[in-house]
Structure 1
Amino acid sequence: MNTTIATLLVIALVAANLPFLLERILFVSAPKGGQKGFAWRVLELVLLYFLVGGMGFLLAKKIGPLQHQGWEFYAVTACVFIVMAYPGFVYRYLWRR
């Protein structure tokens, strides 16, 4: 179970940084203006948050019975996901000028 959780955290770390490292819109098409806008990056970050959350949901369901989670749980996990995206944000907007 520890390796499963560690793997999910590594996947979340990589997924949180992907919008800031890749230039394709939704990882499929290249933007017409040359660079992807910040709004696209935020949209991809939200989509990846739900994708990783779904993976976590499936893994929790596989391990045992699911526990009810309130809004606080999702607020905290969203904040942790945003903090995980910080290295990609720094690379894109602060370091690589």
Structure 2
Amino acid sequence: MKAVITLLILGLLLIHGEVPCVLLISIYILLGEALKCWEKTYTRIKTWSFSRKDCGEGQDYCITLKSIPSYPVKYSFGCVTQEQCQEIQYFDPSIQCCRTDYCNY
């Protein structure tokens, strides 16, 4: 939605010739949209919570996490910051973090 509004405003400026095209393109690229990740949790009682999620500000990684057998959550997917990803990977290097939309399935 943010991209549509941005494009509308930039398009109006371009029509009136007030802003060079290169500047418009660079502004659009800088604004960007939030990363999108799968958010899913699977528990021992075979309950799934599964949805698409737009990550919040600063959450620039999607994560896939498998827990140890004694922990009630077996699989978890969602959004994390770079620092959170590094902290979690410090304890378990098998945890995967990625930076493209819906890459954590």
* TM-score between both structures, scaled by the size of structure 1: 0.29
Q: Greater relative contact order (Cα 8 A, min sep 6): structure 1 or 2?
A: 1
Structure with a larger share of its residues in strand:
2
Bigger helix fraction = 1
| TM-score normalised according to structure 2 size | 0.28
Larger radius of gyration between Structure 1 and Structure 2 = 2
